[in-house]
Amino acid sequence: MSNVIVTFKPYEPPPIPELPAGEFGTNPKDMLGVKKVPISYVPPSSIIYEGLAFAEGGFKYDPFNWRANKVIGSIYTAATFRHMLKYIDGEYCDQKTGVPHLGNAKACIGVLIDGHETGNLVDDRPPPGRAAQLLEDFEPIIAHLSQMAEKWRAQVGAAKAAKTEAAFDDIPF
C-alpha cells in the first residue's frame, strides 16, 4: 500500500468586504455589526426545525428544563445518535410527534452546548480514546479501497453477466 500524505489547511473565512464610503454600511451600527458572529448565515429552516423540537420538549418537560436540572451528556448524546440513525435509515419525522429527526438531533446538541456553556453539563464521556487518530489513520485504506472499487465492480458485473460467483483474489489481507 502506498503512503498517502494529506495536508490540512485550516478554514479561513472570506474577508469582510470593504464598504464604499457614503453608501450602505456607513452607519456606525453597521460598522460594528459586521464584526459580530454572522447569525444570518444560519439557514432559517434549520432554526425552525430546532425550534419545533424545542417546542415538543417544552410541552413535555417544561421550557428550559435543562437549565433547571443538570444535563447528563451521555443521555443527550445517545438521543442525538438515535435521531440521526432513524433519519439515516429513511425516517424523516418522528412517527409519534411529526417532528423531523434532524430538528430533534439539533435540539439535543443545542442542550449539550448550552449545558457546556452554562456549567450545567455533567460530562460523563469515557476517558479519551483513539477515534480521531483512527479516522486519520484509516484514510489511506479508504483511498485504497476506492481505487480498488472500480476493478471489483467490473468483476461483479462480469460474474453477474456470466451468472457465476465473483472471486476477489487480489485483496491483500
Q: Where are the domains of the chain?
A: 40-122, 127-173
Count of alpha carbons within 13 angstroms of residue 160, beta-carbon side:
6
Side-chain-side CA neighbours of residue 129 (13 Å): 5
* Packing angle, helices 44-61 and 101-118, rounded to 10: 80
pLDDT given for residue 7 in this prediction: 63
Over the stretch 114-158, which tens digit does the pLDDT of each residue have?
Answer: 999 999 999 999 999 999 999 999 999 999 998 888 888 888 888
How many CB atoms sit inside 10 A of residue 101's CB? Answer: 22
Q: What's the CA gap between 85 and 129, in Å, rounded?
A: 23
Q: Using CA atoms of 160, 165, 166, 172 in order, give the dihedral in degrees to the nearest 10.
A: 160
pLDDT digits (tens, 9 = 90+) for 79-105: 999 999 999 999 999 999 999 999 999
Straight-line distance from the first to the last Cα atom of the chain, in angstroms, rounded to the nearest whole number = 11
Q: How confident is the model at residue 163 (pLDDT cuts 50, 70, 90)?
A: confident
Cut 0.75: pTM above it: no
CA 172 – CA 36 distance, rounded (Å) = 53
